[in-house]
Structure 1
Amino acid sequence: MFDITVLLPEGLSLSLAFAFVGFSFFTSAITASLGLGGGIMMLAGLAMVFTPTVVIPFHGFVQLGSNGFRALMLKAYIHWQLILWIGLGMVLGSLLGGSLAVALPESVFLAAIGIFILYSVWGPQPKVAVRGPFASFFGGTAIAALGMIIGATGPLVANFLKSLTDRRDVVATHSMIMTINNLAKVTAFTLFGFAFGQYLPLMLAMIASGFLGTWLGSHLLHRMPERTFRVGFKAVLTLVALNLLRSAIWP
């Protein structure tokens, strides 16, 4: 009988692998329903198990599948004119940020991810109007460089979409921008020597479950009152972020 555990990263149990596959379904459902949030929760969950040097590229690969599928489903609503200069900036930013990320100590990675999660949950969301090719290119570069260190930058990308009023346009265009960002991130980490091979079966399984979560997410989350969901969402992410900061200070 084939031993499925040989497909898993070293030291990861089968039960935990199944938990991550289910978690990918859940976080994709959140993003499909609310537009944002699932990527940050995925980042927090991965950070509880894997080292920071694995979390960011792993997260980028899984989110590439999730965002790519969402963009494909909503391709008719993508505003391509908003994407060109942002995408070019993200290619440059991923290379610049990757050269820094591979040199950072693990404790700095943990602290950066923890602080980012806390800010995303409790801090004021940035309200920066991004207009024009230069501003889009510079913004894309900065966001992609930052994403190589903290992982989930979806809330920052949302600033490029202030001019869109239809929710379908926002979700579709946001998904396409994040697809470009994640593709650039995965490419940069590959160039800098990250070995995706041992994680590939688990990542592909998580992407597949993410497809289902994206497809069915809105139906599953309608049963929970939004206020109850958001309180629980903030509480869980806060506890995870505080634990990451504790690990950074007291390994």
Structure 2
Amino acid sequence: MFTPWIVAGLAATIVATSFLSGIFGMAGGMVLMGFLLATLPVQTAMVMHGIIQMAANGWRAILWRAHVRWSVIGFYLCGAALSVALFVAILFVPDKPLVLIAIGVTPFIALLLPARFAPNILKPGHAVVAGAICTALHLVAGVTGPLLDAFFTRTELSRQANVATKAVTQTTGHILKIVYFGALTARPGDLGIGWELAVGSVALAMLGTTLARRILENMSDRAFYRWTNRLVLSLGTVYIVQGIWQIATR
């Protein structure tokens, strides 16, 4: 499953996508999932993505820990628990086209939300809703960055607080995803992920995240939000087309 060429491509992709997410707090996970789905079965791709993104987001949370809004996390976890309970009851495993389309439509859903319904992660009720929706999306699409970002864009948080707080919520989601796809819907031994690959992936994710820190420090808040929107909408379009193409060519 993990041929030398796949491992080499994965290594380069991990560093590049962790660097990208280290700057914008998301987007890298979308690119990484696209690579993994192109080379691996869905359950293996979900677990590998979870390991890599858990490391990248966890390390990002540590690097920016002084900026984390911890008041948000407890309410977010309450919502996450509701989604996990539902998915454990049904043990749903999506197919590749569904995952690709779900990833692709996420940023557009966030964009189309009316201003009067604008979510704000700093409001307790909104944080619970974010935890429920984003965790469900984690277990269907593997990534939630663009939709989660909708809960942050109207908060007027600094770019550091934005990235740091999202990193904590994302780390939680990826841990839940690893448990769900790696232990509840499959046996760990069937996934073909050795400890060497897991440890190496974690190290590369931390490297890419560390390299991005200076870029984020030097970027203005205005540029941060402008480029984030452009990036995720472009990626979303690509994934929607890929998902539809896979369905059409079955």
| TM-score tier after normalising by the smaller chain length | 0.7 to 0.9
Q: Using the aligned pairs only, state the percent identity.
A: 21
Distance change (3 Å), C-alpha of 1:129 and 1:190: same
Amino acid of the structure 2 residue aligned with 1:244: G
Cα distance 1:149–1:99, how it changes in 2: closer, same or farther (>3 A)? farther
Distance 1:180 1:38 in 2: 17
Structure 1, unpaired ranges of 5+: 1-10
- Which residue of the other structure, out of 4, 7, 21, is the alignment partner of 1:31? 21
Instruction: State the shift of 1:229 in Å.
Output: 11
Partner Cα separation in structure 1 for residue 72 and residue 108 of structure 2: 29
Q: CA deviation at 1:32?
A: 1.0
The alignment's TM-score, normalised by the length of structure 2, stands at 0.78
Matches within 5 A, 1:186-225: 186-197=178-189, 198-200=192-194, 201-217=196-212
Q: Tell me, in whole angstroms, the C-alpha distance in 2 between the residues paired with 1:237 and 1:131.
A: 26
Match of residue 55 from structure 1: 45
1:7-156 equivalences under 5 Å are 11-100=1-90, 102-104=91-93, 109-120=95-106, 125=111, 126=113, 127-130=118-121, 132-156=123-147
Q: Give the aligned partner of residue 4 of structure 1.
A: none
CA contact (8 A) 1:129 1:160 kept: yes
Paired position in structure 2 for 1:185: 177
Other-structure match for 1:248: 247
Partners of 1:240 and 1:193 in 2: CA distance:
25
Q: Is the 8 A contact 1:24 1:210 kept in 2?
A: yes
Shift of 1:121: 5.8
Give the 3-state SS of the residue equivalent to 1:163 in structure 2. Answer: coil
**CA distance change for structure 1 residues 206 and 67 in 2, over 3 Å: closer, same or farther?**
same
Q: CA deviation at 1:103?
A: 3.8
User: The residue matched to 1:128 in structure 2 has which SS?
Assistant: coil
Please tell me whether residue 166 in structure 1 is matched to residue 158 in structure 2.
yes
SS at match of 1:199: coil
Change (3 A) 1:81 1:151: same
Q: How many residues align?
A: 235
Distance of 1:230 and 1:159 partners within structure 2: 10
- Alpha-carbon spacing, 1:15–1:219, altered in 2? closer, same or farther (3 Å): farther
* Poorly superposed stretches of 4+, deviation over 4 Å: 120-124, 218-222, 226-241
Report deviation, 1:243.
Answer: 3.0
Moved more, 227-236 or 30-39: 227-236
RMSD across aligned positions (CA) = 3.2
CA distance in 1, matches of 2:101, 2:151: 23
Q: 1:92 to 1:189 in 2, by over 3 A?
A: farther
> Shift of the alpha carbon at 1:179?
0.9
Unmatched 5+ stretches in structure 2: 219-223
Task: Spell out the pairing of 1:226-237 with structure 2 (5 A cutoff).
Answer: none
Partner residue, 2:221: none
User: Per-residue deviation at 1:182?
Assistant: 1.4
Distance 1:42-1:167 versus aligned 2 partners, 3 A rule: same
Tell me by how many angstroms 1:46 deviates. Answer: 0.8
Residue 99 of structure 1, CA deviation = 4.4
Q: 1:194 to 1:61 in 2, by over 3 A?
A: farther
TM-score, length-scaled by structure 1: 0.78
Distance apart, 1:48 and its partner CA: 0.8
